[in-house]
Amino acid sequence: MRQGAEFEVIPGIQSIDQEKDSVALTDSRGQVYRGRYLIGADGVHSQVRKITGEFKPTHTAFATEGIVPLEKCQSGSEFTFDYGVVQNGYGWLIPKHDHVNVGLYTCGDSRQICKAGLREYTEKNLGTGTVEHIVGFPIGIGGDAYVPRSSLVFLVGDATGFADPLLGEGIHNAIKSGQAAATALIAAIQSGADANLAYRAAIEDIRQDICNCRKISYLFYNQLSMSYALLKSRHFQSRLLKGFAQGMTMTEIRQAFFSRNFLSVSKTEH
């Protein structure tokens, strides 16, 4: 805002018209907004994506979560990620000050993710079926298939399916793709370069990481006994947690895991 940006809430988008060197967006009130470029950062149900036809995702992950007051819990709870309680996904229990956050996630069949399933999971682990403030939401995945077509309209974050299919985490890539779009468009304005090519290059590592995460998620959830044994490894845990703490992508963590430096550190830790 300090740099001159304006923030305005609109009720909806009526149309998006791409002209020679600009984009015109008309909202549902008939108000027209014009700009050099348009960045669609409007989530998994992106109107920008649907209206422009810029991308058609083929996969969507789903999650549901709720709150269990501590006084309702019949058994104690620990911070838990419970892989395999739903197909191609996991459940979680996160104790907080006066409640436990519970949830289910899958990158597979969304019919597994429902209120009844969440209450059943809560009953099994906390001894109560009382779950308050239940919400469910889709998560955009499949962004490794996104190849920008327009030189004026660009998608970022969940609008592009840039969430990690393994865990359903999307904030990291939402920020990273937003920064990539800004960098690409600034470079295009300053140098006259093709914004499409600039953005394609800027998000290539994100697309590659999502592709790798998709492959890892398939192996992980279909070989849970092997995956669990790997997660129990002290050295693997150390590298995984350190990588996440440093903001590394799954691809970067995998590369570090098999690097000569990692192997030498692991031997030292023995």
Q: Please, is 191 exposed, middle or buried when counting C-beta atoms within 10 Å of its C-beta (0-12, 13-18, 19+)?
A: exposed
Task: Report the CATH fold assignment for 60-140.
Answer: D-Amino Acid Oxidase; Chain A, domain 2 (3.30.9)
CB distance 17 to 24 below 8 Å: yes
pLDDT per position as a tens digit, 135-159: 999 999 999 999 999 999 999 999 9
Q: Alpha-carbon distance 232 to 32, whole Å?
A: 56
At residue 266, does pLDDT exceed 90? Answer: no
Domain made up of 13-58+142-219: CATH architecture: 3-Layer(bba) Sandwich (3.50)
CB distance 48 to 16 below 8 Å: yes
At residue 222, does pLDDT exceed 60? Answer: yes
Residues 157-170 have a mean pLDDT of 94
Binned at pLDDT 50, 70 and 90, residue 269 comes out as: very low
* Domain definitions of the chain by residue range: 13-58+142-219, 60-140, 233-269
Give the pLDDT of residue 262.
47
Question: Which spans in 20-86 are helix H?
Answer: 47-52
Q: Please, is 260 exposed, middle or buried when counting C-beta atoms within 10 Å of its C-beta (0-12, 13-18, 19+)?
A: exposed
pLDDT per position as a tens digit, 86-125: 999 999 999 998 999 999 999 987 787 999 999 999 999 9
